[in-house]
Amino acid sequence: MRLGKEENSGISKRRSEVVTVRLDPRLKYLGEIAARKQRRTLSGYIEWAVEKSLELVILKENDGYGNSVSVSDAQRNYNLWDVEESERLIRLAFNFPELLTYEEQLVWRLIRDNGYLWRGHYSKSDGRWEWSIGEDKLIWERLRENWEIFKGVAANELPGEKLPTWVRTKTEPPSLSAIDDDIPF
């Protein structure tokens, strides 16, 4: 069985993903009956049922205020969905890091370890670039521009040298007192 609808209007755009599922004959028949009752197609009914089930799946038992957080709640509160894959990964990483796949963890680690993507400052003691990890500290435009590189390096399809670089240590220009007094003007 194939689920989903595709739309073609000059440019090939998908409104929904096509997913293949296996249903045993009894479940398929009962799903068709339920779909008829709601005046839907079977695929429309299954999409509705999946959406409803998101309210039942609990991601976090206690949000710190004694409330549980379902997938639907998480979408509303943390905006987990975005059209940009990079933004979806970042939001999931900040809010539910335990749900990252292994591949996503590799990308997230490269992102966390790359000072080019983060707001920060140079240390006064040794001149090294320092940053802290936070959604408000991430430079989203830089991540979007380099997203495919981060994914490629994480998948071992690109060498690590392709990752964006930054000036790791700032060297101070020489002070005026260090300039030789014998330089003619």
Residues 130 and 169: their CA atoms lie apart, in Å, by: 10
**Are 87 and 94 within 8 A, CB to CB?**
no
pLDDT of 174: 54
In this predicted structure, the answer to whether residue 138 has a pLDDT above a threshold of 50 is yes
Residue for token pair 């009956």: 33
Confidence at residue 180, expressed as pLDDT on a 0 to 100 scale:
53
- Given a cut of 50, whether residue 117 has pLDDT beyond it is yes
Domain boundaries, the chain: 17-53, 57-82, 84-173
Specify the pLDDT at position 151.
Answer: 98
pLDDT at 101: 97
pLDDT at 12 over 60: no
Going by pLDDT thresholds of 50, 70 and 90, the confidence category of residue 5 is: very low
Percent of the chain with pLDDT strictly greater than 70: 85
Structure tokens at 173: 């220009």
Give pLDDT tens digits for 159-182: 999 999 999 998 766 555 545 555
Interacting residues of 21 by C-beta distance below 8 A, sequence separation 6+: 1, 3, 46
pLDDT at 185 over 60: no
- In the chain, DSSP assigns E strands to 2-3, 6-9, 11-14, 19-20, 58-60, 69-70, 120-122, 129-131
List, for residues 57-106, the tens digit of each pLDDT value.
Answer: 998 888 778 888 888 888 888 888 999 999 999 999 999 999 999 999 99
Higher-confidence position of 174 and 123: 123
CA atoms within 13 A on the CB side of 182: 0
Q: What is the pTM of this model?
A: 0.73
pLDDT of amino acid 6? 44
